[in-house]
Structure 1
Amino acid sequence: NQVLEMFDHAYSNYMEHAYPADELMPLTCRGRVRGQEPSRGDVDDALGKFSLTLIDTLDTLVVLNKTKEFEEAVRKVIKDVNLDNDIVVSVFETNIRVLGGLLGGHSVAIMLKEKGEHMQWYNGELLHMAKELGYKLLPAFNTTSGLPYPRVNLKFGVRHPEARTGTETDTCTACAGTLILEFAALSRFTGTSIFEEYARKALDFIWEKRQRSSNLVGVTINIHTGDWVRKDSGVGAGIDSYYEYLLKAYVLLGDDSFLERFNTHYDAIMRYISQPPLLLDVHIHKPMLNARTWMDSLLAFFPGLQVLKGDIRPAIETHEMLYQVIKKHNFLPEAFTTDFRVHWAQHPLRPEFAESTYFLYKATGDPYYLEVGKTLIENLNKYARVPCGFAAMKDVRTGSHEDRMDSFFLAEMFKYLYLLFADKEDMIFDIEDYIFTTEAHLLPLWLSTTNQTISKKNTTTEYTELDDSNFDWTCPNTQILFPNDPMFAQSIREPLKNVVDKSCPRGISRAEDSLGSGPKPPLRARDFMASNPEHLEILKKMGVSLIHLKDGRVQLVQHAVQAASSLDAEDGLRFMQEMIELSSQQQKEQQLPPRAVQIVSHPFFGRVVLTAGPAQFGMDLSKHKAGTRGFVATIKPYNGCSEITNPEAVKEKIALMQRGQCMFAEKARNIQKAGAIGGIVI
């Protein structure tokens, strides 16, 4: 009831003081009309003089069981909204908010009509408007790559002399990769295939241009050449919904290629970007290097996507970290640093954290997430509520407001908060029959069986190296993963309770352990050696496993449920945190420049120069101008992973050895013991 009252406060003020304007300005209690207010830059590209907030709110009205208001709103949209305005709008925002809003409204309208009580007069008018808008967006796709221009003129398109757009060369990955749900739904609803074809072509192009060694994508891309303009990669602003739409396109359309692409990207995200509980941007060509030391608030959607994927543990971890930030600042700042200080202080009432909270509650049934939802409601009422609606936060530190209430606040925030607390009898339809778009609009799952005329690109050969494990294709059963522990979510959250304050909860000491003599003291990250069997045994007890990657690196993964005891699991978590800090420190150190191996003996006499990567240990070659000089000898065994059996041939020479089967450091120790002055790994 409290959520309904809050929605009524926001919606009624928009309708009374702003409609038919696109948005409500809650501090001055009037509508925001583009061109009549000072420009806010790109933010205003969402406004197209098409009653944005009303269209964005249509299916929210039905979710909240406000069918009478929905019927009135649909009549207003049909009667008042004009989509033929001479105005330049964002293709991305218009797609997710307006096209998505019209399609979501149509989806619930036909559902209500079928039930026989409401909307009996409805004859697909919202779908007709959606199709009209779809055609107005198509000129943006007039590029050699198939990636759309970021902006389009609703009346004149892109190339027309009066369009005032079409000179852009770049777009964000999310801008081009967040079209498939709405465009495919429009094609399936209408039987007109061109929309889905255009959206698929854009996705295909982004996939082709991914960085092949890391399987990551950059933030912005040239729409004509496909070159990456911004080569940093993360799960926040500029990329976020691209990943979301790959997975959801598989759910909605049943096309395996979308799931295969998502799984490929997800593996890269968890390998490079995920540093639990953080999600830090990296460079696509050097994914082991962090690209920045702060995170933006849009990544708060990612735990919800991980729930849909079925990867619950990291979802719980990241969500808990975000919640601790919220408890510190009342809202999630637009950006915050890795030590949880405010980087950008604004908060435009974004719904992504509420979205992830809802999905985690659905997945776990843990009442903790209801308490999180109550905190969100209390903070909105206490800090953002004003007499004429809810106002965005200009600065979360001071509590100052900004005169804006974005349409997504009504489209998403109240939808997710209502669903979080709603019982089954509170719903007039089954929400499980629909999938949420990135703007939380509802598209029916039965679309996968409708108008399947779109030709799919044959991508079979692209996925031959994928690990086709069950976890890539199915969602794990958390009751099996965490047997005899109904409080598994709490056990994951607990070590993160004080992460923002940079202090860990004090666990039970070994001396206090009721068993008396517990396991050995925890292994410190700085002391760890992958070649030490004793260390590996300690890792195993702590639930930490060592994975050898194809490129010779190793990856550490902790599964607390596999630890010998809860105390060992805590030790494992501390070890992983130490390892993350140690890795971050190493990344901040100066990167060693490429070096060379030159063959100066007969018959080459220096003409053969091979590039090489220097080791991160041993002699600092940058401080030795002459480098290391000597004759080369092949060692036995060739992999260098055990004691060298021909030390007489290796002494005072540079050892030549094969890559793989053990750590570089282990090879170096073995050849050093044999008397070698250096080593070359091939």
Structure 2
Amino acid sequence: MLAEDVQWQVLRNYAIVDGIMVALFRRRTRPLAISATVIVIYLLIIFVPKRPDTLYGFTYVHSSYDWSQHPQKYPAPAPIKQLPTGNPRALPKIQHAFETDSSPKDVEREQVLVERRLDVRQKFLKGWNSYRKRAWMHDELTPVSGGWKDGYGGWGVTLLDSLDTLWIMGLRDEFYDAVAAAMTIDWAETDDRSFNVFETTIRHLGALLAAYDLSKEPAIVLKAIELGDMLYMAFDTPNRMPVFWMNFEEARNGELEAGNHVPSAAVASSGLEFTRLAQITGDNKYYDAIDRVAQLLDSWQNRTSLPGMWPTFFDMRSMQLDMDRSYTLGALADSLYEYLPKMYLVLGGLEPLYEKLYRDAMDTVVKSLLFRPMTPDQDDILFSGSAYATADIFNLASESQHLGCFAGGMFGMAGKLFDIPEHVSIAEKITRGCVWAYDAMETGVGPEIFNIVECHSLEPCEWDDDRWLREGDPSLKKGFKDARDPRYVLRPEAIESVFFMYRITGDQEYQEMAWRMYQSIMKATETDLAFASIENVTVTGETEKGDSMESFWLAETLKYFYLIFSSPDLISLDQYVFNTEAHPLLRP
């Protein structure tokens, strides 16, 4: 038997054993599970069948280059860091305790919600069916011209990103058709010389792991392991810090080096996906890789020019995290912070480091980055700005981003998880601030980047008309300085936080906010084929469409809209943790 056949069989065995382990542990027979696992592994190693043309009912194409067999020039030093062991802690509930009454009023309300989620489902299908017909196996549909484009390796990112949305929406035929196609992806087949490690991790790998966690289809795990082994090569650098872009030739030749000016989120946001892959396969090498990054974050957290936070850009080559002086929860840094409480969750509370990193970081965010806008009605809302800090200078720009709207959900989830009531209150104010920005625009859709006239503290301030006339934009709602980037590119962050706050508080007002946002987005973005980014959210009447429908439209935005109108038991926050691409991963 060839070496690659043996490797394939080992991967297959992991998937089978995981399924058996799940079944046994669900029956709470831990000693039986352990002994049975030993027997199963022994039998699977002895009775190795020939490599089939089909696998678990799917035609399975093995990638033409097996990265698991490629020797690393800079292998991880022994001992490999192990996943935390022991029974997961009894963590606080994140979701609101929803009642299950069946009064006439509740029945009427449920009918409204049924109609809303069916509408979301139909809009999803419109986009999905156009992708299926016109861009199948390519990365994206171009929703105006009706063509396709590849920008993520040509590995069908929209197909993969949509897998768990298909499952969640009950579209099982479409799900299995998509899985069958996904099993034929060859990660070595691409016209690109390199790929974005961060985007491939959150979109492709995250999607496969969530699809497996929902469906328990073993073939999906094998495709995830193939990809995981390719992504693991990004850590084959002299200091074991990951590269931002992985060049295939350099990886094969052992020439990769971590970058000296890379986005902090890009190199510090693989934790959830690599940890879940380690949990499913039992291979600790994935966890070892990302733990080394977490330890680096810990060592620098209180040594930057804004202690508690990390700058927007890192020098990972020298492992100096204080080279930059800019700080934000927005673009280029966002998911670094988002993943801190989520890593605590996916590890069952067994690694306290992530709580410490979160608490220290958010202490600084609350003191230094959050601001209240000056509005005529003294709205009780907050936004996150961007700061520049040195030993002698601190400047806060009251510029906010649609990307930063994720922070409402993060503060709310972590506030419940770590018993910080103040953070749940902050979460509501950030979330309502993002909805306020939506309502302020002519289209009812929030802009990509905007500046606001700020109060000088987090407390309400009196409206100053003279200041508004000096600083504000008279064409926008009072409170805005400008809509510096007026586009809407189908982003999910605002509805993400609205969804989280509904699930956390049980307040139906968030469902009404969501419906208002949804109707506005549909009106502004719909094309004959699907849905498109728009150039300007401040215009009246017809919007100018861009020929782009990013995969996160189907993977995140429409998923969150569907879930907020669904039963709270569907993907409960007490059972799953969402990665930054909204892929739900099982919690232990």
Normalised-by-shorter TM-score class: 0.5 to 0.7
User: Residues 405 and 431 of structure 2 are in contact (CA less than 8 Å); yes or no, is this contact kept in structure 1?
Assistant: yes
- 1:76 correspondence with 2:176: no
What are the Cα deviations for residues 61-93 of structure 1, in whole angstroms up to 9, with x where unaligned? Answer: 111111221112111111345454352111110
- 1:304 correspondence with 2:398: no
- Tell me the equivalent position of 1:188: 279
What are the Cα deviations for residues 286-336 of structure 1, in whole angstroms up to 9, with x where unaligned? Answer: 597224341221110000001101222111112222212111222221110
- Tell me the equivalent position of 2:172: 67
Deviates more, 1:316-325 or 1:189-198: 316-325
Distance 1:27 1:106, change over 3 A: same
Secondary structure of 2:183's aligned partner: helix
Distance across 2 between alignment mates of 1:175 and 1:150 = 6
What are the Cα deviations for residues 502-548 of structure 1, in whole angstroms up to 9, with x where unaligned? Answer: xxxxxxxxxxxxxxxxxxxxxxxxxxxxxxxxxxxxxxxxxxxxxxx
Cα deviation, residue 280, structure 1: 1.6
Distance across 1 between alignment mates of 2:433 and 2:495 = 14
User: Residues 272 and 288 of structure 1 are in contact (CA less than 8 Å); yes or no, is this contact kept in structure 2?
Assistant: no
Distance across 1 between alignment mates of 2:545 and 2:136 = 22
Distance across 2 between alignment mates of 1:23 and 1:53 = 6
Cα deviation, residue 168, structure 1: 4.3
Distance across 1 between alignment mates of 2:258 and 2:346 = 34
User: Residues 216 and 284 of structure 1 are in contact (CA less than 8 Å); yes or no, is this contact kept in structure 2?
Assistant: no
- 1:436 correspondence with 2:578: yes
Question: Larger radius of gyration, structure 1 or 2?
Answer: 1
- 1:23 correspondence with 2:127: no
Cα deviation, residue 441, structure 1: 0.7
Aligned residue among 524, 527, 547 for 1:383: 524
Secondary structure of 2:394's aligned partner: coil
- 1:317 correspondence with 2:429: yes
Secondary structure of 1:317's aligned partner: helix
Aligned residues: CA RMSD: 2.1
Cα deviation, residue 200, structure 1: 1.0
Which residue identity is paired with 1:172? P
TM-score, reference length from structure 1: 0.59
- Tell me the equivalent position of 1:245: 339
What are the Cα deviations for residues 85-117 of structure 1, in whole angstroms up to 9, with x where unaligned? Answer: 35211111000000101111111121xxxxxxx
Secondary structure of 1:361's aligned partner: helix
Give the fraction of aligned pairs with identical amino acids, expressed as a percent: 26
Written as runs of structure 1 = structure 2, the 5 A alignment for 1:541-560 is: none
- Tell me the equivalent position of 2:251: 158
Written as runs of structure 1 = structure 2, the 5 A alignment for 1:648-667 is: none
Distance across 2 between alignment mates of 1:22 and 1:269 = 36
Distance 1:424 1:226, change over 3 A: closer
Q: How many residues get paired?
A: 417
Aligned residue among 317, 331, 341 for 2:445: 331
- Tell me the equivalent position of 1:225: 318
Secondary structure of 1:20's aligned partner: coil
Which residue identity is paired with 1:188? Q
Which residue identity is paired with 1:279? S
Secondary structure of 1:386's aligned partner: coil
Distance across 2 between alignment mates of 1:65 and 1:221 = 42
What are the Cα deviations for residues 26-64 of structure 1, in whole angstroms up to 9, with x where unaligned? Answer: 01111113xxxxxxxxxx4xx111110010111111111
Distance 1:143 1:252, change over 3 A: same
Distance across 2 between alignment mates of 1:392 and 1:287 = 41
Question: Tell me, which stretches of 5 or more residues in structure 2 are unaligned?
Answer: 1-117, 373-381, 416-422, 454-479
User: Residues 250 and 258 of structure 1 are in contact (CA less than 8 Å); yes or no, is this contact kept in structure 2?
Assistant: yes
Which residue identity is paired with 2:337? Y
Secondary structure of 1:5's aligned partner: helix
Distance 1:388 1:286, change over 3 A: farther
User: Residues 152 and 166 of structure 1 are in contact (CA less than 8 Å); yes or no, is this contact kept in structure 2?
Assistant: no
Which residue identity is paired with 2:211? G
User: Residues 244 and 258 of structure 2 are in contact (CA less than 8 Å); yes or no, is this contact kept in structure 1?
Assistant: no
- Tell me the equivalent position of 2:78: none
User: Residues 259 and 315 of structure 2 are in contact (CA less than 8 Å); yes or no, is this contact kept in structure 1?
Assistant: no
Written as runs of structure 1 = structure 2, the 5 A alignment for 1:485-564 is: none
- Tell me the equivalent position of 1:125: 219
Which residue identity is paired with 2:371? Q
User: Residues 237 and 258 of structure 2 are in contact (CA less than 8 Å); yes or no, is this contact kept in structure 1?
Assistant: no
Cα deviation, residue 407, structure 1: 0.5
Which residue identity is paired with 1:263? R
- Tell me the equivalent position of 1:50: 155
Cα deviation, residue 397, structure 1: 2.7
Written as runs of structure 1 = structure 2, the 5 A alignment for 1:66-105 is: 66-85=171-190, 87=192, 88-105=194-211
- 1:140 correspondence with 2:266: no
Distance across 2 between alignment mates of 1:307 and 1:287 = 33
- 1:264 correspondence with 2:360: yes
User: Residues 448 and 488 of structure 2 are in contact (CA less than 8 Å); yes or no, is this contact kept in structure 1?
Assistant: yes
Cα deviation, residue 166, structure 1: 5.6
TM-score, reference length from structure 2: 0.68
Secondary structure of 1:290's aligned partner: strand
Which residue identity is paired with 1:205? L
Cα deviation, residue 346, structure 1: 1.8
Distance across 1 between alignment mates of 2:390 and 2:300 = 13
- 1:234 correspondence with 2:328: yes
Which residue identity is paired with 1:384? T
Deviates more, 1:346-355 or 1:227-236: 227-236
Deviates more, 1:297-306 or 1:82-91: 82-91
Cα deviation, residue 366, structure 1: 1.8
Distance 1:266 1:430, change over 3 A: closer
- Tell me the equivalent position of 2:468: none
Distance 1:288 1:332, change over 3 A: farther
- Tell me the equivalent position of 2:555: 411
Cα deviation, residue 268, structure 1: 1.2
Structure number with higher relative contact order (C-alpha < 8 Å, ≥ 6 residues apart): 2
- Tell me the equivalent position of 2:53: none
What are the Cα deviations for residues 611-648 of structure 1, in whole angstroms up to 9, with x where unaligned? Answer: xxxxxxxxxxxxxxxxxxxxxxxxxxxxxxxxxxxxxx
- Tell me the equivalent position of 1:392: 533
User: Residues 412 and 428 of structure 2 are in contact (CA less than 8 Å); yes or no, is this contact kept in structure 1?
Assistant: no
- 1:215 correspondence with 2:308: yes
Distance 1:224 1:82, change over 3 A: closer
Secondary structure of 1:423's aligned partner: coil
Written as runs of structure 1 = structure 2, the 5 A alignment for 1:198-213 is: 198-212=289-303
Distance across 1 between alignment mates of 2:573 and 2:180 = 24
Secondary structure of 1:394's aligned partner: coil
